[in-house]
Structure formats: structure tokens, C-alpha cells
Amino acid sequence: MSDNLSTPSPAPAFIDAVDAVRRAATRDDLAVTEIPAPGGIAPNSLALAGDVVGANGRADSDLGTGRFTLLHDASEPEAWGGPFRVVCFAQAPLETDLALDPFVADVAWSWLVDSLDARGAAYDSASGTATKLLSTGYGELARHGDGALLELRASWSPTSTDLGPHIEAWGELICTLAGLPPTVEGVTLLASRRVGRD
């Protein structure tokens, strides 16, 4: 087991889930790495970081980035409705005109749910927020001009230890936010979506 497991003897269900996470296939245009898991939230946890791979073949968080944390508590916290909870984050630059679209947050949420459902990920109790961030640079930052980001923070409760579809859906979400073509049927891009990808 990795150093990222939070207890010396994790529960068998958590070990099975971690094995499924580590076996999951992600897109070639997303670099996924295991990172230190947060402590104190649950008895067991595992965390991943994902960054979109640029045209130069290197991961570049400015193109799109995300975090995926798997939490496990055998006591099944009431708010989770089971022993597992996934907490994830995904963010990518957005063209400023799209950031003004009142439906872009709804579309971002649908990308997550559609990706989970298309892969057959078993889950309950999904919740989250989609945020559009608009910025304008002034003074020394004026050369940066206007910018926008689309950010999704979400959590849900997996109902099995088969976490592969959850990882794949999260990776698909990051890449879709970044404007890369979806690999899931029924998910479509917003027109003129890509920003800053060489």
C-alpha cells in the first residue's frame, strides 16, 4: 500500500476500492498522480491530482486541473449514506463570453452527472457547486486582461468498491471543462470553448 493510506491497517473494503482506483484507465490527455491524502476527515482516504496534458506533452494545470479524494469510514456517517464518499474538484479556463452565459454552471454539473451515469458508476447523494470566476487585471496585471474560470466542486457516495468508473468520470469532467472532445456519448462541448491550449 502507498504512504497515502491514512491508517496502518485499512479496512478490506477500502483496500478493494483503492485497488480499483489504481487500476482505472484515464484519458491520455490527462496526467493523474497520487498525492498525499487529507488527514482527519475520515479514518481512510486516498487522493489524486489530475492535470490536462498540453500540446507539448507535459501536464499543465493552467489548461485544466482537478483533485479527487476518496474517503472511507466504516461507521457509515449519516450524511454519506454509506461507508464511502468522494470529494472532487475540477477547474479550467473559460472564454469570458461563455462565463456570462447563465446556463454554463448547469452545463458543467450535467457533464459530471452524465459522465458518472455513462460509465455506470454506482452512487447516491451527489451534491456540489459550479462557479464561474471572472477577473480583470489592473496595474502590473493589466497585461493579463480579462479572464474567466469554470470550477466544479462535487461530492457523492459510491455504493460499491468499484471506483474505476468514478475516476474515469472525474477525468472526463476535467477534460471536458478544458474544452477537449468528450469520449462519452451524449456529452457535447460548448461552442468556442477552448482557451489557452497550444
Please report the pLDDT score of residue 193 as a whole number.
43
- Residue-wise pLDDT tens digits, 94-133: 888 887 888 899 999 999 999 999 999 999 999 999 999 8
Residue among 13, 19, 20, 50 at smallest CA distance from 34: 50
* Residue tagged 471506483 (cell numbers): 163
Over residues 51-71, mean pLDDT: 89
Identity of residue 195: V
Q: Which DSSP letter does residue 167 get?
A: H
As a whole number of angstroms, the distance between CA 114 and CA 59 comes to: 25
Contact at 8 Å (CB) between 65 and 79? no
Look up the pTM and report it: 0.85
Kindly tell me if the per-residue pLDDT of 13 is higher than 70.
Answer: yes
